[in-house]
Amino acid sequence: MKSPLYIAIPLVSAFGLTACMDTYDANSKATQGAVVGATLGGIAAAATSGKNDKLAKTAVGAMIGGAIGGAIGTQLDKQAADLQQSMGNGDVKIVNTGSQLIVTMPQDILFATDSAVVVPSLQDDLRALAYNLQDYPSTTVQIIGHTDNTGSATYNQELSTRRASAVATILRANGVASGRIQAFGRGEDAPIATNLTPEGRAQNRRVEIVITPMT
């Protein structure tokens, strides 16, 4: 059985790192990132260390992992706040998971029915997103199209792909490097609500932009 000390060191390191922050908030994404990073760093170091220096390497791994996790969490907190301010669209949802930003744009505000052409009124929001991505260049971007289950699965898959590609095209046209962007459709395969009601189907029709920091 592993000594409790091997478990305690990553956690102590994490709390030591978060205590150095200007304001300690156990619920902030930066704090959560530091704790998770420290714990994973300590576990990774313990798993790869020799018997004689396992304890020392576990402590070092925890400190390094905590620093990386805390930095990522802090970056995402700031990027999310900047993006929310620049977009200013209450219909666009921005969620910080602690390791990624997920920007959800309802397809009903992005596209006309059965269309893959972004409506002019939303192009400003996508430009704001593009400028934000340029301000935070050390990230990758996945653009994922989703539909409800109305119509055939084949058609929905194709439509979701075209819509994701349309969003990607606008981001590229506004300065986001092509190598950072991956666009694809999931069709009706990943609903977040029931398809049995109009309200649920509206939630399922969406484009998600997943922003992931490079580590």
Q: What is the DSSP string of 72-118?
A: HHHHHHHHHHHHHHHH--TTSEEEE-SS-EEEEEEHHHHB-TT--SB
CATH of the domain at 137: 3.30.1330.60
Residue 122 lies in a domain: yes
Residue 4 lies in a domain: no
Residue 69 lies in a domain: no
Residue 98 lies in a domain: yes
Report how many domains make up the chain.
1
Residue 104 lies in a domain: yes
Residue 112 lies in a domain: yes
Residue 106, domain extent: 93-207
Residue 170 lies in a domain: yes
Q: Rounded distance, CA 120 to CA 185, Å? A: 22
Mean model confidence pLDDT for the chain:
81
**Residues 153-206 pLDDT 10s:** 999 999 999 999 999 999 999 999 999 999 999 999 999 999 999 999 999 999
* Sole residue written with tokens 């704001």: 128
Residue 42 lies in a domain: no
Look at residue 142 and tell me whether its pLDDT is greater than 50. yes
pTM reported for the whole predicted model = 0.70
Going edge to edge, which strands form the sheet with 139-146?
Answer: 93-96, 101-106, 206-213, 139-146, 181-187
